[in-house]
Structure 1
Amino acid sequence: MVAIYLAIGLAFWSHAAAAAPELVSFSDARFAPGTIVVSNSQKRLYLVQRGGTALRYPVAVGKRGKAWTGRTFIRGMHVRPAWSPPAVVKRDLPHLPAVIPGGAANNPMGVAAMTLAGGEFAIHGTNRPGSIGRAVSYGCIRMQNRDIADLFRRVNVRTPVVAVN
C-alpha cells in the first residue's frame, strides 16, 4: 500500500517540477503577499509575492453568469480528488455519474484541487487543457495540471483568495 501512495505522490510532484509560473510586476496594495488573486477578465491567477511581484498562471474561469467575484480562502487541499457534480452541473449534464473517481481520465479536477470556503467552487487542474484562457466553467478556476501542482506546493489551507472582474 505504501508503494502505491509513493507512486501517486511521485507522479503528482513530477508535474510540479515541470511548472514555470511567470514572475510579473504586481503592485496592488490591496493584496498582501501570499494572497491568490484571480482576474476573471484577464483569465489569470496571481500568487502575490513580496517586493511588488506575483507569480502569474493562465486559467479558465466561470462562463457568463457563472463567474464569481469576492473574497474567500482555501478550505481544503486534495491530490487526485474524486468529483461529484454539483446540482447545477447535474441539471445541465444529467448523464454524468454521481461520482467520478480521482485519477480517472474523465475526472475534471485533474491532479489536484483546492476547495474554497463558502461555496462549491475550487481551484483545480483539468483534463481539458484547451479550456485554459477561456470562460467555460461553472465557477471553478481551472489550471493546467502542472500549474496546479506548482501552486499546491506554494500555498496552504486558509490562504486568502480574491476573485475580481
Structure 2
Amino acid sequence: MRSGSRFTIVSLLLALGFALSVQTPASAAELVGFSDHRFRPGTIVIRNSEKRLYLVLRGNRAIRYKVAVGKSRKAWTGHAQITAKYISPAWSPSPEVRRDFPHLPDVIAGGAPNNPMGAAAMTLSNGNFAIHGTNRPGSIGRAVSYGCIRMANNDIKDLFQRVGIRTQVVALP
C-alpha cells in the first residue's frame, strides 16, 4: 500500500471515530407510574421539590422530564394554562431580570446562542412565566430561574408536540 493510501485510510478512520464519539444529548424523558388521581390525563404537573415535570397519561402513567425550576423565592406554585406556543422564540427580559442584569439587550432574537428560551416555549396564564428550552443544559435539575420551567431542548420539543393551548399546568411545592 502506498503511503498516500495509508494516510487516506487513517484519516477516514480518525474521522469516523470522531463522528461516532460525538453524541447528541439524549432525552431525559421517562415513562413512569403516576397514581395521583387529582390530575386528569393531559395535565402537566410540576413538582418543584423534585425538579421534575410530569405529563399525566392514562392508565396511572406519566412522562417524566428533568427540569430547572425557580430559585429560592422565585418558584411558583398553583394553577395555570398554556396560552401560546412558540418555536425558537425571541426573548425580552422581564423588569425583574432587567433590574438584576441592566446590561441585557431589550430583545434577544430567537435561535441566538445567548437566547435563554432555547428551542421552544409555551407561555403560561399566570404572568411572565413559561415552560421553555434552554441553551444551558447544566441548569437542568437545579433551582436557578426567575420562575420559568426550563427543559432540555430535546425535551421541550417532545412536550411541545404532545400538548396544546389551554393544557392545564399545576405546580406543586
Normalising by structure 1, we get a TM-score of 0.88
- 1:42 equivalenced with 2:35 (yes/no): no
Partner of 1:129 in structure 2?
A: 137
Q: Paired residues, what number?
A: 148
Name the CA distance, whole Å, in 2 between partners of 1:142 and 1:19: 14
Opposite residue 49 of structure 1, the aligned amino acid is: L
Q: Indicate the structure (1 or 2) with the bigger Cα radius of gyration.
A: 2
User: How is 1:3-152 mapped onto 2 (pairs within 5 angstroms)?
Assistant: 19=27, 21-152=29-160
**Which sections of structure 1, spanning at least 5 residues, go unmatched?**
1-17
**Which sections of structure 2, spanning at least 5 residues, go unmatched?**
1-25
Opposite residue 135 of structure 2, the aligned amino acid is: N
Aligned-pair CA distance for 1:19: 3.6
Detail structure 1 runs of 4+ shifted over 2 Å in the superposition: none
Opposite residue 81 of structure 1, the aligned amino acid is: P
* Aligned residues with identical type, % of pairs: 70
More RCO (CA 8 Å, sep 6+)? 1
1:37-80 deviation digits (Å, cap 9, x = unpaired):
00000000000000001000000000000000000100000000
1:30 match: secondary structure: coil
Aligned-pair CA distance for 1:118: 2.5
Name the CA distance, whole Å, in 2 between partners of 1:20 and 1:127: 15
- Structural RMSD (CA): 0.8
1:109 match: secondary structure: coil
